Amino acid sequence: MTVPRVRLGVDFGTSNTVAVLDGRPLLFDGAPVLPSAVCVDRSGGLLTGRDAVHAAATTPEGYEPYPKRRIDDGVVLLGHAEVPVTHLVAAVLRRVADEARTVAGDGHLEVTLTYPVAWAAPRQEVLREAARIAGLGAARLVPEPVAAAQHFVTGAGAHLPVGGCAVVYDIGAGTFDVSVVRRTASGIEVVTADGLDDGGGLDLDAAVVDHLGAAYAPGDPDAWARLTAPASPADARAARALWEQVRTGREMLSRASSTYIHLPLLDRDAPLGREQFDALARPVLDRTVDVTVGVLARAGVSTVDDVFLVGGASRSPLVATLLHRALGVAPRVIDQPELAVARGSLVGTAPAPPPASVVAAPRPEAPPVTAPPARGRRGRRWLAVTGALVLLLAAAAALFVPRLLDRGEPGGDTGTGGDTGAGSPSTTSTTPSAGASGPPASQSSSGPADPDASPGQQWADSRQFMEISSGQVRGDTVLLTVRPATKNHLGESWETIPGTGPFVEVAASADGRAIRVPNDPRGPTSTMERLVRDLRERDPDDVEEGFTVTFSALGLVQQVEWEFNPT
């Protein structure tokens, strides 16, 4: 019996992790990014993602928001437990593996992981070992800027001739990385690279927080002190809410000219305009541009053919403006810059015909979490930071937890850029190319061949009875994760028979609407945004809700009707 092969690309980032399955983003708690955070809970287990961020409020000593930065540490002390760094990383990758297998079913995963171009063999080996522990088998590794450039060249319409050079400007949540890449006859190679550990989205938000403090702290210094140096779980939750508000406001300013930021504890709504934000962000972004110019000088490249913007924070219009002025080339902007690295990692990885049988992947190892010895331990030992500092770190880390509603960037500032651990990436000589630069391989039979085409095209001009597993609001677009289902009639009532195919993400048209039947106790009509909110609030075990989805000729959702079953 043949087993279908499914390609999984994983961008393990400093603050967030992104994964794509045959070109389609995996969703974690309904969003396309997974916080890379890990927390040892009170029972000794490892929590990841939003669960880890949530647990950090009550168990701050067991929290590590940035496992990627601990890549050189061997063993990390979290609370009273010593955790090998391979198992910290494996915990995040295991969550990705679980989601991938839920979607892929019995398909055999062919895994590609990306890594910072400055990582030498020992760090790459840590990543490989973590993948093995997570049950992902022998993963293929690709440098992050190579993967990003491959996506732009093969999937985003960029024309980079053989011999041509481009800048990969990657500003993620936690770090900034820039590379000069060259296209060769066999693929993409890195000429040189550099970066900043303090040039990411978090630093942009910190500038806004400092501004708000200068403006509002004098009116209530005690409340502001509780937000910036939380000493209790309640204060930590308020601090997380502040950073979330700041991040959401910054994202909104990439589309709007002004917004408001709610200040918890002070109960104030602070106005923030785009020009005001640009002035606050300018010092951080100027440094990233300076590093970019320096990289080009070291590479001996006087002109570039293109500039590729990667990472969620690159959405700020000021980024493109400053780079255009400095380089004389208009940067190339894409809709989901946080997915570029993960998507590009799969270029040139078209699976061969499936084998007659595939050996099952080894069962993921349970991560060892051991208490430290009382004495006699040799080697480097990290002491847990406790008290207000850790609570503040937990609050700041929540900056990257995606919200599905009332915001424009569900992915947040993905940490797609690399991080070298202790410092900025060093200048790197020409790196062997990874993968051919030809067109991307066809998608699996569960979706359209073009990775950028609307998956709703397969249901164009039709009405479908469907399951909707989740939804999210991204700017002016509503995205729903759906699959066909069956309505089984039982006399005067009916039941939903779940589908067996994979869930796919479809977009709603600008004038799309949601309608409930008149006897639905929640009311007869709804907006698409309200539909998404209702999906989040419903009982996850409720299978007596069905949806009739009407698709346009372009494969966009025009209407969703709630099939309310009174039984």
DSSP string, 280-314: HHHHHHHHHHHHHHHHHHHHT-S--SEEEEESGGG
Query: How, if at all, do strands 108-115 and 5-12 pair?
Result: parallel
Average pLDDT over residues 348-358: 42
436 touches 348 (CB < 8 A): yes
Q: How do residues 464-473 score in pLDDT, each as one tens digit? A: 888 888 888 8
Output the pLDDT for position 35.
92
> In the predicted model, what is the mean pLDDT of the chain?
78
Percent with pLDDT over 70 in the chain: 75
What one-letter code names the amino acid at 211?
Answer: H
| Stretch (H or E) spanning 481 | strand 477-484
Q: Is pLDDT at 92 greater than 60 in this prediction?
A: yes
C-alpha to C-alpha distance for 307 and 152, rounded to whole angstroms: 10
Quote the tokens at residue 191: 């000429």
| pLDDT confidence of residue 529 | 80
DSSP track, 229-242: S--SHHHHHHHHHH
Mean pLDDT of 304-333: 93
Region 95-99 average pLDDT: 94
What's the pLDDT score for residue 289? 96
407 confidence band (pLDDT: 50, 70, 90): very low
| Model pLDDT, residue 17 | 95
Q: Average pLDDT in the 416-441 region? A: 35
- Over residues 126-145, the mean pLDDT reads 94
With 0-12 CB in 10 A as exposed, 13-18 as middle and 19+ as buried, what is 398?
A: buried
Q: What is the mean pLDDT of residues 331-359?
A: 70
Question: For residue 426, what pLDDT is reported?
Answer: 36
Domains of the chain: 5-152+341-400 (3.30.420.40), 455-564 (no CATH)
Which amino acid makes up residue 333?
V
- In order of 8, 105, 310, 471, the CA distances from 456 in angstroms are 22, 21, 26, 15
Least confident range from 18-27, 227-236, 259-268: namely 227-236
Helix residue ranges, H only, 345-496: 388-397
The neighbour count for residue 521, using CB atoms within 10 Å, is 7
Question: Which tens digit of pLDDT belongs to each residue from 486-528?
Answer: 877 665 566 777 777 778 888 888 778 888 655 555 555 677 8
Whether residue 190 contacts residue 145, with contact meaning beta carbons closer than 8 Å, is answered with: yes
Q: What is the pLDDT of residues 367-398, one digit of tens each?
A: 555 444 433 332 322 323 334 444 444 444 44
Asked if residue 133 has pLDDT above 90, the reply is yes
Residue 405, pLDDT > 50, answer no
In the structure, what pLDDT confidence band is assigned to residue 99 with cuts at 50, 70 and 90?
very high
User: How do residues 199-239 score in pLDDT, each as one tens digit?
Assistant: 999 899 999 999 999 999 999 999 999 998 888 878 888 88
34-52 mean pLDDT: 91
In sign, the C-alpha dihedral spanning 340, 345, 351, 356 is negative
Strand partners, 63: 39
Mean pLDDT of 285-303: 93
256-260, 402-406, 459-463 — which is least confidently predicted? 402-406
13-27, 437-451, 528-542: least confident range: 437-451
The H or E element spanning position 102 is: helix 85-104
Tell me what the mean pLDDT of segment 108-125 comes to.
92
Beta bridge partners of residue 406, listed in sequence order? none
Residue with tokens 């915001």: 407
Q: How many Cα atoms within 13 Å fall on the side-chain side of residue 306? A: 23
Whose CA is closest to 400, among 414, 419, 420?
414
Task: State pTM to two decimals.
Answer: 0.63
* Average pLDDT over every residue of 303-329: 93
Residue 266 pairs with which residues in a beta bridge?
A: none
Tell me the three state secondary structure of residue 221. Answer: helix
Specify the higher pLDDT residue, 131 or 417. Answer: 131
Encode pLDDT of 151-167 as tens digits. 999 888 888 999 999 99
